[in-house]
Amino acid sequence: MDSGTAGGFGSRGAQGAGITVQRALELPGLRSGLPEVLAGGDRLQRTVRWVHAGEVPNIASLLKGGELLLTTGYGLGTRPAEQRAFVRTLAERGIAALVVELGPRFARLPDALVEAARNAGLPLMQLHREVPFVAVTEEIHTEIVNGHYALLQRAEEVHRRCTQALLGGGGVPQVLAILADFSDNPVFLETPEGQLLYAAGAGPEGADPLQVWEGLRGQHKDGRPPAGTVLVDVPGGGPGSSSVRARLALLPVRGPLAPVHRMAAERAAGILAVVLMQARQDEELAARGRGDFLTDLAEGRVAPEDAPAQARVLGFKPGNSALLPVVMRVDDALSSPGGGSGWAVLARAVSEELALLGAPVLLGVRPVEGRVPLLLGLRSEAERAQVADRVAAALRAGVERAGMLLPGNRPPVVVVGAAGGWTAASAGLRHAAEAAGAAQGLTGQPWYDARRLDIDLLLWRLRDHPDLAAFVDRAIGPLREHDDRSRPPLLPTLETYLAHAGRKAETARELHLNRQTLYNRLARIGELLGTDLDDPQTVLALSLALRARRHLP
């Protein structure tokens, strides 16, 4: 998961849309009428959606809410009860404010009218000078239209930045980061069922946005988002489709959200729909998000003390269990064009196999590296080897179920790191991921202990260095030349002999040779190499050369 930002918007994204009652009073048209606020002075920040002028008693039935009503008072009625009812119906309709021009009808507004406006919380102003209502209406409408145009421009700027991010190779995290920066609030991408896919942005001071989301998740599921939340559906399927693939949620935890933020979110949702359609599978998107988190943890971008909260949001709750880091290296071929959806199938199949273990598991995918990282909760570190056996078997079964056998039916490489707490898990994931690359040249084991691959890892890192190839050629070159032109080959005999630490009986048994034949072959090897196979330094050099040979191009 990504929590970065993409600067450039500043605080302007937090401004609201439209024009306030206060702003309307400051424009020349109304200001020339010397307006006096008689009620609702604390509510002048209400948004004026439109302006209407009228003189009929039932004018409330003509309004939709949010209007600033201009009148000379002929429709207010003559009796206090009529005046109170007039104000009450306007307040119930939700108009922004009532402006009455003094003149032939009223020299001053009746007390009943002012009292009713105060009780209803309706802003009420009287104008001491005559003003042309047409000019006031035109002036305010122009201001409103200009404001909406400005909002559209700012929302389009978000759309432009998101498009540029995608063209530059970005994806969902970059789009969310741009939207989070614009709104100055955390942004979340959820499945329609409420499962978190991605998060971006920062929460209030001292609060992790993921913890904020987790605390409010129950409200989302019940269809009761927090007040002020912006929810926008991300459509799925083709054009005109009514299906929903995901949902954008903007939470007002750092500041209020304005209409422009909804406009920007709606434009971002259109871009995300394209991204998700390309990904094709929500499972793959979620698995990639978990893979991003595990990679960020391994590479130090997530601090161990912050990791439990983020992992809990992703559904991983190991409690006080020791954590076992595991990395499966499948093949870069799975990330080739046309195989993108295969990662969703692989993640689902492997997850179902691992579920049979009955232990908490957090599994992700990293298609670019061809890796499947995971963390698993252990009851005790003593069961590490036993659990590793079962995990490796489950991973292989998942690969087979997904129909993604590697070229030559090679089994996937599974590397297991050291078990421990979150700090150990961070180092263990990084070590296992590196060792998984070095283990690709190895065969025959269901899983490898990362700690026993350190020599191979060192040699693998030197695989492109000319000195390593020269060392291998000096150490075993004569044997390679022999095996290229003569039989039987001698390199397998040397490898088996060294693997058994020079124990001839065990070597002969594994190679199905009688002892004399083995002695003859060992003598021939010593003769070709000009070395003594009983010399410890010679044995060390030959062992390293044989290991290095597997990693050479």
Query: Could you tell me the strand order of the sheet in which 187-190 lies?
Result: 196-200, 187-190, 244-250, 230-235
Those residues whose C-beta lies under 8 Å from the C-beta of residue 192, and which sit 6 or more positions away, are: 244, 245, 246, 247
Q: Residue 331 — pLDDT band, cuts 50, 70, 90?
A: low
Q: Which residue has the higher pLDDT, 498 or 228?
A: 498
pLDDT of residue 336: 37
The verdict on domain 284-460 having CATH code 3.30.70 is: yes
Instruction: Please say whether the beta carbons of 165 and 7 come within 8 A.
Output: no
Q: How far is CA 214 from the centre of its chain?
A: 15
Angstrom distance (rounded) from CA 52 to CA 69: 5
Q: Residue 8 — pLDDT band, cuts 50, 70, 90?
A: very low
Global confidence as pTM: 0.52
Rounded mean pLDDT, 191-209: 70
Q: Is 317 helix (H, G, I), strand (E, B) or coil?
A: coil
pLDDT of residue 16: 43
Angstrom distance (rounded) from CA 380 to CA 257: 47
Angstrom distance (rounded) from CA 439 to CA 453: 7
Domain with CATH 3.30.70 in the chain: 284-460
pLDDT in tens, 88-105: 999 999 999 999 999 988
Per-residue pLDDT at 470 exceeds 70: yes
Give the 3-state DSSP-derived string for 417-486, with helices as H, strands as E and coil as C: CCCECHHHHHHHHHHHHHHHHHHHHCCCCCCEEHHHHHHHHHHHHCCCCHHHHHHHHHHHHHHHHHHHHC
Q: Is the peptide bond before 235 cis (omega within 30 degrees of 0)?
A: no
Q: Residue 228 — pLDDT band, cuts 50, 70, 90?
A: confident
Name the residue type at position 167: L
In order, the DSSP letters of 209-238 are HHHHHHHHHHHHHTT-PPTT-EEEEEE-SS
Angstrom distance (rounded) from CA 224 to CA 414: 44
pLDDT of residue 282: 64
Instruction: Please say whether the beta carbons of 82 and 113 come within 8 A.
Output: no
Instruction: Please say whether the beta carbons of 510 and 548 come within 8 A.
Output: no
Q: Which two tokens stand for residue 237?
A: 């399927």
The verdict on domain 462-551 having CATH code 1.10.10.2840 is: yes
Domain with CATH 3.40.1390.20 in the chain: 33-130
Angstrom distance (rounded) from CA 235 to CA 242: 7
pLDDT of residue 6: 35
Q: Are strands 244-250 and 187-190 parallel, antiparallel or unpaired?
A: antiparallel
pLDDT in tens, 380-421: 878 899 999 999 888 888 888 776 666 566 778 899 999 999
Residue 506 is given by DSSP the state H
Q: Is 83 helix (H, G, I), strand (E, B) or coil?
A: helix
Class of domain 33-130: alpha beta
Per-residue pLDDT at 1 exceeds 50: no
Provide long-range contacts, Cβ within 8 A and 24+ apart, for 51-55: 51/136, 51/137, 51/140, 51/141, 53/133, 53/137
Query: Could you tell me the strand order of the sheet in which 50-53 lies?
Result: 35-39, 124-127, 97-101, 67-71, 50-53
Domain with CATH 1.10.10.2840 in the chain: 462-551
CATH number belonging to the domain at 167-279, selected among 3.40.630.30, 3.40.50.10800, 1.10.3720.10, 3.30.450.40:
3.30.450.40
- Percent of the chain beyond pLDDT 70? 85
pLDDT of residue 49: 83
pLDDT of residue 223: 55
Q: How far is CA 91 from the centre of its chain?
A: 44
- Across the chain, mean pLDDT equals 83
Q: Residue 307 — pLDDT band, cuts 50, 70, 90?
A: very high
Rounded mean pLDDT, 495-506: 90
Q: Which two tokens stand for residue 5?
A: 């930002």
Rounded mean pLDDT, 23-28: 90
Those residues whose C-beta lies under 8 Å from the C-beta of residue 295, and which sit 6 or more positions away, are: 364, 366, 373, 429, 433
pLDDT in tens, 139-168: 888 888 777 677 677 778 888 888 888 777
Q: Which two tokens stand for residue 461?
A: 């890192």
pLDDT of residue 118: 94
Poorest-confidence range of 1-5, 47-51, 190-194? 1-5
Give Rg (Cα) of the chain.
Answer: 36
